[in-house]
Every structure is written in structure tokens, then in C-alpha cells.
């Protein structure tokens, strides 16, 4: 997704020498019309799992659409913008958006700082590099469901963390504490996704011109000074990317509130929009209402993506 | 840290250490501290999965022979039929991998080296799909695939929304773009068809990109929870991640050591991707991923 600006910016080459002979048909279908056949399966796939569902979601969101028993014919009347009005007024939905902001407030800065520092540290020839890299990628390649099992064990009421903390342990414990539930999800996701963002920064670090470091050396800059004045500005496009990607991840949390905090608990303190969409749409069968949530989230996500393009094009 | 050696790429094979400077000592210290934080939960998960009685004390960090057992593994296996669940995960993952390699390579190749009408439109489509996560379309996908086509509790229903991984298409495209144009032109002049050029010239060169895309694509369906959770109600069709989550929520309470059996399931679920990445770690590099993400 990150490539947004790079790709759309790719110019289709115009070849001036190709204007004779079969140029007309070529201009119409392209030089290798067979290419269309090559991408056809993928295009059908996109139409089927993206375009069509998007249209369906759009229509459902304007209806009082609910799931009925199989075979039963039911009336699903148009209700106009009613679903959207209801969603925006829904305190649980508002809470879920608030929760996402709380998540982002912790997750985004932590992700940027930790992944940049660790990528910077990894960007060297040191003994055991493969081991360190492997350690940081491990949570990223492992299923959330698998890791949740050990987090529940560690952060439970009588778990290892509370044992170590003794009287400092929060009461009620982390995952069932209304102040700690959402921050815990943020910490979990930061930890789990950091490997991916380290990878991004490692790629970006290769693009910082070495001359800049040499120039900084000539100016007598110390390590910290070089980090701040060369590395940080040098990876700015990557930072913009990390911020946006982390934000989009935050918009899509489901597994963590479902399993880690036992269904968005306690008392809605860790409900996320996607989890709420699932609850409304699938559990309670109010597909129209859930579709409206989906459309609103889609709008927010696209807005973020647009801002991303803006930021990236500045560089 | 400004020496040429430390600034060069991290993708190269391990080199004679130059870590005697104080700067590199700080570097290693930071990395080691981080590695402990990243690996400890995995270690603790393995230890905990073998405990007969859940030991949450500080000494429980170390294995105690008299408190070790395989009962947790037996219990989770009895409850969710682990081989069956792992088989479901494998079929789900293999289906996605197969479609991604077959159709994704075709699409990536065409988008990189062929000129045809509609290419820009398809490219914009790839990017849009990469930006909009599938979760936001869960309702219509559920309505269509499960309610409309009746594909609930089928592998096809599980695979469909993930069939062709767009990130992989992107990695393929970026890789083919980097190959010199003359390569393709020469093959065309020699009279090789597009299919022949792709199979005999481009794909052999694309092995690193393919391996990378395979690794990335693998963790998608193998680790996916939400969609197979929506699609499968019958337990014998559930992938391991779904079966384990349902076990944690509904059954584990009755186990001799609920935490232990949960973690035994977690270990089983974590092993395949972790082992795969350990084997192919060298190929999973920033350079290759970078090509996919930097644009």
C-alpha cells in the first residue's frame, strides 16, 4: 500500500517510433494485448471480492437489512440515511472510535521510535545479526491467536507480571481493567508488528546517502547528532509510511479485542470499530447497520490513504 | 557507525565482526535487550505448555522436571482434533499460495513488462485493494459468500477473499520492473511468445521474489482469524487458529491446566511459520520487501 505514490506516478512510455504500420490497433489495445488475458484472472478476482462487495455494502447500508432464517422471504425496506445517523449517534460506536484514538496515541509513537532505533541498530555488520533479526520478526510471522495464549498467561490476575510487580500490580488486573485494557492491546500490537516496521526502516536506511554521514563527520558531529540530523530526516518518507500503516492497522483491530480482552471488555473499554461491526452485523444480524459502520470506516481509511499520498509526494 | 562497513546493507551474509568499538557495544546491548523482550513470550509459551500445574511464580520461568507433562497437548488434541485442524489450515493456505503464484505471477508480469489497454486501471485497482483492508468488507463478503452462494463451511469459501494476495502481485511486479527491458525485447525478437518469455526468461530470474512472496503470502491465511471464523461453524472444517480460539473461549475452562492447554495449542499454531522463516530467513530481506513497499 505504501507504494501508492510510486506506482500511480509511473508514466506509460510513449514510443514515438511506433506510429507506423499497425500503430492504430496498437494504440487501441496496446503493444501486447495478450497482457489483458494475463491479468484477467486477477481482475475477475478483484471484481468479485472487492468491487462487487463494495457495491453490495453501499446498498445494504441504506436498508434495514437483517439476516432471516434460511429460505424465509423478508421485507428489507429502504431507510435512507437512517443507519448512518444511528451509527454516528451510537455511544458504543463513539466509544470504539475513541478507543482507536487511544490505541493510536500509544501505538504510533511507540512503533515509530522503537522500529527506527532497532532498525538503526540492526543496520550494521555485527556478530549474530541473523539471530537479532530473527527475534524481531518472530512475533510478526506468528498468529495473534497463538501469542494471545501466552499473554493471557503472563498478564492474568495471578500471572508472572503481577507476581513480579507484587503490590504495584493494577487491580483489577491488566486485561480486565478498564484503564489498562486498550493500552494493553496497543502494547501487544506494537510488539507484534514491530518486525514489519523494522523491515521497512531497514529498507529506507539503505537509501540515506552515505555522503551525508561523511559530511556530518567533517563537521565533527557525534553519533546522536548524526542520528538526528542525517538519519531521521533521511527516512522521513518511511516514517510517513509507518504512521499511516500503523493507523490503518489500528482501524482494523479485531482478534485482539475479541480474544485478549474477552470481547472488547471490560464493559466496552476495548471495543474497536471492526469488532463492533462484527457484533452488530454477524452476532446480532443487523447487517444494514454494520454495513453503515463499514462504509464510514472505509471513508476514514481512504481519507488517511489520501493524506498518505500527499505526505509522500512532498518528498 | 560511520564506517563504510556498518553502513552497508544488512542483507549480506554475516561478516567478520567489527564489533569491538564502543559504539557497536551499545548497539549489541540495545539489540540484545530487545531480543529478550521479543523472544521471552515464545520461550515462556513453550515452558508453560509443558507444565502439569500452571506455575506462575518467578521460578516457573525455568523448567521443573517434576512439573512437566505432555497432558496439555493430549487434551487440546482430544478437544479440537489437532491433525484435522492443521490439515484445514494447510488446505486453506495451499489454496491461497497456489492461486497467488499462478495468477499473481501472470498479473505481476503483465503489469510490469506488457503494454495493453487498461493496465493503469488494473494498477490503480491493486493499490486500492492494498489500502482498503478486507475487514471493512466483512459484512457484504459474508452476505455474498456464506448467505448468497452457500459456501459456509467449505474450503472454497475460506480461500476466495484471499485467493490472490495483492501484496505478492505487487512484489512480482516490482521485481519484473527491475529486470532489463532488453531481456524481454530480445526474447520477443527471437520469436518467443509472451508465455514462453515469462516461463523461460522472467520466472527463473524471479526466484528470490517468488520465495519472498510465498513467505509473505503463507502467513496471511495461516494466521488469519476473522474470515475463517465467520465462514466455518462446523468444527471439522475450522483451521487451527479458529479451532484454538474457540477452544480458549469455550472449552479450556474444563481442562486440567487451561493455560497450559491453550499454550500447547499456541505452540502448535506458531511452529510452521516460525520454522519456515528460520529456514528462509536469509531470503526474507529488507531489499526484497523494500521493493514491495517502497514503490
pLDDT given for residue A116 in this prediction: 95
pLDDT given for residue A68 in this prediction: 76
Domains of chain B: 4-74 (no CATH), 81-294 (1.10.3720.10)
- Which residue in A134, A254, A298 is closest to B281 by CB distance? A134
- Return the H-helix or E-strand segment holding A284: none
Closest CA to B263 of A312, A149, A79: A149
Mean pLDDT of chain B: 86
Contacts of B93 (CB under 8 A, 6+ apart): B218, B221, B222
From residue B52, give the alpha-carbon distance in Å to each of B73, B215, B218: 11, 35, 33
- Closest residue in B to A277 (Cα–Cα): B139
Contacts of A180 (CB under 8 A, 6+ apart): A170, A174
pLDDT given for residue B285 in this prediction: 60
pLDDT given for residue B77 in this prediction: 94
Closest CA to A41 of B124, B163, B212, B142: B163
Q: Which CATH number fits domain A82-314: 1.20.120.80, 3.40.50.150, 1.10.3720.10, 1.10.8.50?
A: 1.10.3720.10
Is the Cβ–Cβ distance between A247 and A304 less than 8 Å? yes
Contacts of A233 (CB under 8 A, 6+ apart): none
Q: Is the pLDDT assigned to residue A138 strictly greater than 70?
A: yes
pLDDT given for residue A32 in this prediction: 84
Q: Residue A286 — pLDDT band, cuts 50, 70, 90?
A: very high
Closest CA to A247 of A100, A140, A144, A118: A100
Q: What would the pLDDT profile of A21-74 be if each residue is shown by its tens digit? A: 567 777 777 888 889 999 999 999 999 999 999 999 999 999 998 887 766 777
Mutate to test the interface with B, among A3, A110, A140, A306 (most CBs of B within 10 A): A3
Quote the CA–CA distance of B104 and A165 in Å, as a whole number: 50
Q: How far is A97 from chain B (nearest CA, A)?
A: 14
pLDDT given for residue B40 in this prediction: 96
Mutate to test the interface with A, among B139, B222, B230, B232 (most CBs of A within 10 A): B139
pLDDT given for residue B230 in this prediction: 95
Q: Distance from CA of residue A273 to its chain's centroid?
A: 13
- Closest residue in B to A296 (Cα–Cα): B136
| Mean pLDDT score, A128-138 | 90
| Residue A45 CB neighbours (<10 A) | 22
pLDDT given for residue A255 in this prediction: 94
Q: What 3-state class would DSSP assign to B4? A: helix
Contacts of B282 (CB under 8 A, 6+ apart): A130, B13
Please judge whether A30 and B117 are an interchain contact, meaning their C-beta atoms are less than 8 angstroms apart.
Answer: yes
| Mean pLDDT score, A91-113 | 95
Percentage of chain B beyond pLDDT 90 is 58
- Which residue in B19, B135, B141 is closest to A254 by CB distance? B135
pLDDT given for residue B166 in this prediction: 92
Q: Is the pLDDT assigned to residue B261 strictly greater than 60?
A: yes
Phi and psi, residue A220, nearest 5°? 75, 30
First to last CA, chain A: 17
Q: What would the pLDDT profile of A164-195 be if each residue is shown by its tens digit? A: 998 999 989 999 999 999 999 999 999 999 99
Q: Residue A247 — pLDDT band, cuts 50, 70, 90?
A: confident
Q: Residue A250 — pLDDT band, cuts 50, 70, 90?
A: confident
Q: Residue B227 — pLDDT band, cuts 50, 70, 90?
A: very high
Q: Where, residue-wise, is CATH 1.10.3720.10 in chain A?
A: 82-314
Q: Residue A240 — pLDDT band, cuts 50, 70, 90?
A: confident
- Closest residue in A to B262 (Cα–Cα): A149
Amino acid at each position: 500500500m505504501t507504494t501508492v505514490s510510486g506506482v500511480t506516478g509511473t508514466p506509460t512510455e510513449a514510443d514515438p517510433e511506433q506510429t507506423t504500420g499497425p500503430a492504430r490497433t496498437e494504440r487501441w489495445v496496446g503493444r501486447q494485448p495478450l497482457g489483458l488475458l494475463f491479468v484477467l484472472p486477477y481482475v475477475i478476482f478483484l471484481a468479485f471480492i472487492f468491487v462487487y462487495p463494495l457495491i453490495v455494502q453501499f446498498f445494504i447500508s441504506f436498508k434495514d437489512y437483517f439476516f432471516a432464517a434460511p429460505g424465509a422471504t423478508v421485507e428489507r425496506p429502504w431507510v435512507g440515511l437512517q443507519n448512518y445517523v444511528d451509527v454516528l449517534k451510537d455511544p458504543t460506536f463513539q466509544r470504539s472510535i475513541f478507543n482507536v484514538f487511544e490505541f493510536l496515541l500509544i501505538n504510533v509513537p511507540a512503533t515509530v521510535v522503537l522500529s527506527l532505533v532497532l532498525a538503526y541498530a540492526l543496520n550494521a555488520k555485527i556478530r549474530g545479526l541473523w539471530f537479532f533479526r530473527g527475534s524481531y520478526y518472530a512475533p510478526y510471522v506468528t498468529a495473534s491467536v497463538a501469542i494471545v495464549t501466552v499473554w493471557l498467561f503472563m498478564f492474568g490476575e495471578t500471572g508472572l507480571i503481577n507476581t513480579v510487580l507484587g503490590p504495584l500490580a493494577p487491580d483489577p488486573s491488566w486485561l480486565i481493567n478498564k484503564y489498562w485494557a486498550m493500552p494493553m492491546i496497543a502494547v501487544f500490537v506494537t510488539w507484534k508488528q514491530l518486525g514489519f516496521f523494522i523491515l521497512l526502516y531497514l529498507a529506507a536506511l539503505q537509501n540515506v546517502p552515505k555522503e551525508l554521514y561523511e559530511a556530518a563527520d567533517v563537521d565533527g558531529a557525534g553519533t546522536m547528532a548524526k542520528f538526528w540530523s542525517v538519519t531521521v530526516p533521511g527516512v522521513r518518507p518511511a516514517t510517513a509510511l509507518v504512521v499511516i500503516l500503523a493507523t490503518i492497522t489500528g482501524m482494523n483491530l479485531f482478534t485482539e479485542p475479541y480474544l485478549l480482552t474477552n470481547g472488547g471488555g471490560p464493559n466496552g473499554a476495548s471495543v474497536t470499530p471492526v469488532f463492533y461491526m462484527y457484533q452488530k452485523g454477524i452476532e446480532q444480524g443487523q447487517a444494514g447497520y454494520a454495513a453503515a459502520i463499514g462504509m464510514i470506516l472505509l471513508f476514514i481509511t481512504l481519507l488517511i490513504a489520501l493524506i498518505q499520498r500527499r505526505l509522500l509526494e512532498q518528498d | 557507525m560511520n564506517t563504510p562497513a556498518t553502513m552497508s546493507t544488512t542483507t549480506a551474509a554475516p561478516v567478520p565482526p567489527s564489533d569491538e568499538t564502543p559504539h557497536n557495544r551499545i548497539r549489541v546491548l540495545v539489540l540484545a535487550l530487545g531480543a529478550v523482550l521479543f523472544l521471552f513470550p515464545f520461550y515462556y509459551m513453550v515452558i508453560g505448555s509443558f507444565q502439569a500445574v500452571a506455575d506462575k511464580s518467578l521460578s516457573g520461568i525455568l523448567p521443573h522436571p517434576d512439573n512437566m507433562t505432555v497432558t496439555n497437548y493430549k487434551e487440546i488434541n482430544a478437544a479440537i482434533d489437532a491433525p484435522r485442524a492443521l490439515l484445514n489450515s494447510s488446505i486453506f493456505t495451499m489454496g491461497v499460495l497456489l492461486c497467488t503464484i499462478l495468477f499473481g505471477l501472470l498479473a505481476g508480469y503483465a503489469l510490469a513488462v506488457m503494454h495493453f489497454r487498461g493496465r493503469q486501471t488494473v494498477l490503480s485497482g491493486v493499490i486500492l485493494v492494498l489500502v482498503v483492508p478486507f475487514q471493512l468488507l466483512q459484512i457484504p463478503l459474508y452476505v455474498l459468500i456464506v448467505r448468497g452462494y452457500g459456501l459456509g463451511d467449505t474450503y472454497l469459501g475460506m480461500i476466495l477473499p484471499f485467493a490472490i494476495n495483492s501484496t505478492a502481485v505487487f512484489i512480482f511486479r516490482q521485481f519484473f520492473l527491475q529486470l532489463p527491458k532488453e531481456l524481454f525485447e530480445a526474447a520477443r525478437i527471437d520469436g518467443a511468445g509472451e508465455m514462453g518469455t515469462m516461463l523461460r526468461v522472467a520466472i527463473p530470474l524471479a526466484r528470490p521474489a517468488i520465495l519472498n512472496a510465498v513467505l509473505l503470502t503463507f502467513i496471511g491465511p495461516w494466521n488469519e482469524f476473522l474470515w475463517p471464523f465467520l465462514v466455518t461453524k462446523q468444527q471439522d472444517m475450522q483451521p487451527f487458529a479458529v479451532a484454538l480460539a474457540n477452544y480458549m473461549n469455550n472449552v479450556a475452562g474444563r481442562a486440567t491446566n487451561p493455560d497450559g492447554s491453550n499454550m500447547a495449542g499456541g505452540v502448535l499454531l506458531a511452529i510452521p511459520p516460525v520454522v519456515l522463516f528460520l529456514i528462509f530467513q536469509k531470503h526474507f530481506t529488507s531489499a526484497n520487501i523494500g521493493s514491495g513497499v517502497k514503490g
